[in-house]
Structure 1
Amino acid sequence: MRVFGVTGWKNSGKTGLMERLVSEITRRGFTVSTLKHAHHSFDVDHAGKDSYRHREAGASQVILASRNRWALMSELRDAEEPSLDTLLGKLDPVDLVLVEGYKRGGHDKIEAHRAATGQPLIAPTDETIVAVASDNSPEISVPLMHLDDTTAIADFILARVGL
C-alpha cells in the first residue's frame, strides 16, 4: 500500500486539501483511504447511544454496523497510542492511503501552508516534506505548488508514489 501525507499547522488548509485530493484521485480511478491524526480527545459516538453505552461499560472494542457502513471503535484504556504503521495495518488494501497529520511520521508529505496563519514553514527542517502547497510563494528547496491547484498536487503525489 502506498502512503503519502498532508501535514501543516492548524488552519493551514490540510483538511480541505485532503478532501479535494480524495475526490480528484478517486475520480482518476484509484482507490483511496485516509487516516487522520487528532491531537485531542475525540468521540465518534454520542452519550446515550447503545455503542457509547457499551464502551462506557468497559468494552475494549465496539463494532457499529449497518447495511451502509461499519465502524470499529477501540478504547485505549490508558494503553499507548498505536503507531501509524499499526493503524495502517488495520486498513483494507487500496491504491493510496492519504495521511493527515502525523508530522513526525517517516512517510513522504506535502506541507499545506497559508500565509495568514503566521506560522513558519515546517519543510526547511523536515526532510520528509517533499513539497509545499501554499497560498503564497515562499523560498524553499522543495517543489512548490499553489494550495488550490489540486490537479498539480494530485499529479505530484501520484508520480511520487508510482501510480
Structure 2
Amino acid sequence: MQPLRFIYQDAKDEVREWVIPRWTENTRYIQGRSEHDSLPRTFRKDRVLEYLEGAEQLLFDLAEPAPEPAPRAQLDSRPQILFTGFKSADRARLESKATEHGFRVMKNPGKSLVVLCIGYNAGPTKVEAARESGAFVVTEEQLDHLLLTGEVQC
C-alpha cells in the first residue's frame, strides 16, 4: 500500500498537508495515522482539496458504504416532578402515582422542573429554588387534585 498524501481543509478552515502511510476508506471518510499521530484520524473526503500522491488507490464511491449515524434518543417531554420532605415509603408511593399519571419523576431539581411536591420536612432552599425557576410548589393534597383534575390549586 502506497502512502496517501493530500491537502486537507478542516472544520476550522485550516489547510494542511497530510501523509498517511496506512489508511482505510469508506464512501465518505479516510481514516489513518500519520507518523506523528498516536491515534488514527478521520478525514472527510469532501474536505480534501487535492490528492498529491496515492489517489489512484482510492475507491471513492466504490468503497464500502459509510456507516449511518446512530439515531438520537428521543427527548423525554413529560412534565417533571420532584418530591421532597417525605419519608421514603411515602415518596415511593407518590412517585409511582405521578409516573402513572404521565409525570417524569426527578431526583434533583432542574431548570425544566414543573412541579415540586413538598412534604412536612421540605427544606426552604429547595422550595425557594423551585419557585424562582417557575415551578408549581404543591402539597400532597394539591397534587392529588392536580392528578385528578389537571388543575393546580393555590
User: What band does the TM-score fall into relative to the shorter chain?
Assistant: 0.3 to 0.5
Bigger Rg over Cα? 2
Identify which of structures 1 and 2 has the higher relative contact order when contacts are C-alpha pairs closer than 8 Å and 6+ apart. Answer: 1
**TM norm structure 2:** 0.35
